[in-house]
Amino acid sequence: MLLGFSLGAVDATLDKLRCTDAARDAALIQARGGDGTALGRAEAPTGASVVVTSESGFVRATVSMRTSPLGTHLPGVDVTAVAVVAVEPGAP
């Protein structure tokens, strides 16, 4: 049982890391004038939502999802990652 919970914690941590990477890359691409939302969706785990906004010279990317590392019969964990990047000079 302890092994199952440990593996579930590792799975949730991996989902958090994937969300963090997707948010960071989405914000960077958007700040450089690219399509951060499309990149974020491509890199995020399956079922994650990606929201990229630009305001006051900054880009904010939020990637969130609900993961159920111990199966659907037990409560899941909400995972959210946020990245904020300044818009690069000369970016469209």
- CA 17 → CA 8, 90, 91, distances in Å? 14, 31, 28
- On the question of pLDDT at 17 being above 90, the answer is yes
- Return the residue matching tokens 């159920």: 68
Per residue in 37-47, pLDDT (tens digit) is 999 999 999 99
User: Rounded to two decimals, what is the model's pTM?
Assistant: 0.85
pLDDT > 70 fraction of the chain, expressed in percent and rounded: 92
* Residue 13 to residue 15: CA distance in whole angstroms: 5
At 90, the pLDDT band (50, 70, 90 cuts) reads: confident
Res 62: pLDDT? 98
